[in-house]
Every structure is written in structure tokens, then in C-alpha cells.
Amino acid sequence: MVNHGPRRGKRVALTFDADMTDAMIVRLRRGEVSSYANLSMLDLLEKRKIPATFFVTGQWAEQYPQVTRRLAANPRFELANHSYEHAAFTADCYGLPRLPAGRMTGDVARTFRVLEPFGGRQTRYFRFPGLCHDKAALRALAPLGVTVVDGDVVSGDPFARSAAPVVQAVLSTVRPGSIVIMHVTEANAQYTDEALPLILAGLQRRGLEPVTLSELLGEQPG
């Protein structure tokens, strides 16, 4: 299990979760929300040539195949697994519906099968929905050879009401080796694109350099 990378050096990893619960799909279908894909944030990352790691749920990739292709096509981005339907792997996980123990391995394996055809920089990194995990959940994933990644900087971007607290949450806790958790889910994290330029400027002031998770963890030359 990984919370952060080497504390020596100047590297940090920006990670973006792409949640997609059954309830979110219903809201999309009913037209109650317009998008769970923050395209202006992707524009910014691309324009500024910022490396990033995306933890994608299988259901998000199925809702947004074109955006997923766009992520896979960027050599600075890598893809990781955030479960299939963003259900809870433990009891009491932010009110998410609970995934039965017998379905945990299959849920995560299914997401790899959904993501693989997109190509690009695939990884075996996995992040639990809501970061909720226990021994039973970790045991269920052992056969899949995943590296479980939490993070040490929680941006709090889901349901933030402005960009400032998100910027503050990141810049007050980030340090060398940090793994920053943000979201690409637009309607559920509306200010992430607005916060990102300020976060990038703050990282630069501290001499911190964003790299992909595999680069941070030394699994690929950076």
C-alpha cells in the first residue's frame, strides 16, 4: 500500500479520480447534471504539459470513451483503476452502496478489462472508492497484483463550494513525495479546474515538480 513517494527530491504526483456510481449514471440520464468529465481541466493539463495519473472507474470509461481515449493518447498521462462502479469495499464508506465481498475481485478485474483496450500508459495501481479498505478488501485484491494507492494530500475538491479551500488544502500539506488526490468529475468537483492553476503555481514556488505516479515511485525513468 502506498501513501506517498520518496520524501527526498522534489517530485509530487497529481492524481485525479474519475468516479461513476450507478446513482451518477441515473442523474446523467435524467439530465440532472450535464457532465462528470472536467474538460477544461484536461485542457489546462495538456496545454501546460503537466504529467498526471487518472484513477478511472470502469463505468466512467464506458460513459466517456472519447475522454478516456484522450487520456490514453497523452504520453504524460497514465491510467489506473478506481473500481468498476465506485461501490464501497467496506461498511460505512461515505454512504456508498456496499459491494459484496464475493464481487470485489471481479469488480476490479472487470475495470482492467474495460481500460486495457484504450492503450496508453496502463498501470496496476488501484485506489479504493472513498479510500475505504480493510484486510478483507486487500485480501480480495491480492490475486490481481495491484498496488493500492491512497495519497497523503486530500484536496477535498468533491463538493467544494469554491476554489480557495481546495488550493489551501493542497498547498498547506503538500511536500516532496506527496500524492495529491483530486477529481476529474466536474459536476461533483466543480472548482478543480479553477483551483489547478493556483495549485500549479504554488508547487512551482516550492520547487515541487509534478510527475506521474510511476515516476514518483521510481517504476519508470522520469
With cell 512551482, the residue in question is 204
User: Segment 127-146, which members bind Zn ion (CB under 5 A)?
Assistant: 129
Tell me which stretch binds Zn ion (CB under 5 A): 14-22, 95-103, 191-199, 212-220.
14-22
Task: Give the total of residues touching Zn ion (CB under 5 A).
Answer: 3
Q: Name the nearest CA neighbour of 160 among 190, 118, 182.
A: 190
Q: Which is nearer to Zn ion, 59 or 212 (CB)?
A: 59
Please name every residue paired with 147 in a beta bridge, in sequence order, or none if there are none.
125
- Cα separation, 145 vs 62, in Å, equals 24
Under rule CB under 5 A, residue 17 binds Zn ion: yes
- Backbone phi, psi, residue 72, to 5°: -65, -30
* Grid cell digits, residue 82: 478506481
By CB neighbour count within 10 A (0-12 exposed, 13-18 middle, 19+ buried), where does 194 fall?
Answer: middle
Q: Which is nearer to Zn ion, 17 or 193 (CB)?
A: 17
CB of residue 130 to Zn ion, shortest distance in Å: 6
- Cα separation, 79 vs 96, in Å, equals 23
Tell me which stretch binds Zn ion (CB under 5 A): 13-21, 96-104, 110-118, 165-173.
13-21
Under rule CB under 5 A, residue 78 binds Zn ion: no
Under rule CB under 5 A, residue 19 binds Zn ion: yes
Under rule CB under 5 A, residue 157 binds Zn ion: no
Query: What is the binding site for Zn ion (CB under 5 A)?
Result: 17, 19, 129
